[in-house]
Amino acid sequence: MTHLDSAADQAVLEWESFASMERLLVIDDDAELCQLVTRFLSREGFAIHWVPGGSAGLERALAEEYSLILLDVMMPDTDGFEVLHRIRQQSRIPVLMLTARGDTRDRIRGLELGADDYLPKPFDPAELAARIRAILRRSSPHTPPAAFAIGDIELDGGARTVRRAGAPVDLTTVEFDLLAALMRAAGNTVSREELVHDVLGREFSPFDRSIDTHVCNLRRKLGPLEDGGERIKGVRGAGYLYAWPTRQGAR
Mean local confidence (pLDDT), 190-203? 89
List the one residue out of 149, 179, 174, 171 whose CA is nearest residue 221. Answer: 171
Q: What is d(CA 41, CA 113) in angstroms, rounded to the nearest whole number?
A: 26
Q: CATH fold of 148-242, please? A: Arc Repressor Mutant, subunit A (1.10.10)
- Is residue 227 within 8 A of residue 247, CB to CB? The reply is yes
Q: Does 3-139 match 148-242 in CATH topology? A: no
- Is residue 50 within 8 A of residue 34, CB to CB? The reply is yes
Percent of the chain surpassing pLDDT 70:
86
Check residue 157 and give its pLDDT.
84
Check residue 9 and give its pLDDT.
47
Q: CATH fold of 3-139, please? A: Rossmann fold (3.40.50)
pLDDT tens readout for residues 1-52: 555 455 444 443 443 443 457 999 999 999 999 999 999 999 999 999 999 9
pLDDT tens readout for residues 152-182: 999 998 888 999 999 999 998 889 999 999 9
* Residues 59, 61, 62, 68, Cα dihedral to 10°: -170
List the one residue out of 90, 30, 23 whose CA is nearest residue 54. Answer: 30
Domain positions in the chain are 3-139, 148-242
Check residue 144 and give its pLDDT.
52
187: left (phi over 0), alpha (psi -120 to 50) or beta: left
